[in-house]
Amino acid sequence: MNDKYLYLYNTLINYTRNKDLYKNLNREDNFSDRLTLFLLHFSFFLKNYKNDENKKILQEIYDFNFRQLELSIREIGYGDQSINKKMKDYINLFHSMVSEIHFWDDLPKSDKLKKISIYLSDFKNNDELLDYFNDFNENLSKKTLNSYLKSVSNP
């Protein structure tokens, strides 16, 4: 497998491992919570770097990330039929996220909070998560796609 996007994938995973993201979760975190946060990070990533110039490379990144997710689901022990259903659900969730955050920069705080709450309903204080994703989005906008691909960006 071509792993030229592994650094980027691992960077997104590291963002998702941030323990502060889970401090307001009403229960112990699980794979689904971590995957949802991963997909949110990835959604913001694609939103920031989507343009005609990056179209091909972003498609490759998309394919690579979802292949990695499929491998993770297989490692958990799901069977082939379950994996296909799970992947379809995760891809639909991801596309919903991308759609919801498409105009993120133009939205008022209340609308952003509603959008975050759609996906993070089990979290208590979504204001903190909103601030986190606003900061994450802003930091992405300050860096180039190449900085993530060339392993020079620090999470």
Q: Is the pTM of this model over 0.85?
A: yes
Instruction: Decide if 153 contacts 147 (C-beta within 8 A).
Output: yes
Instruction: Decide if 141 contacts 108 (C-beta within 8 A).
Output: no
Q: Residue 123 gets which letter from DSSP?
A: B
User: Hunting for tokens 């392993």 — which residue is that?
Assistant: 151
pLDDT of residue 135: 97
Give residue-wise pLDDT tens across range 47-61.
999 999 999 999 999
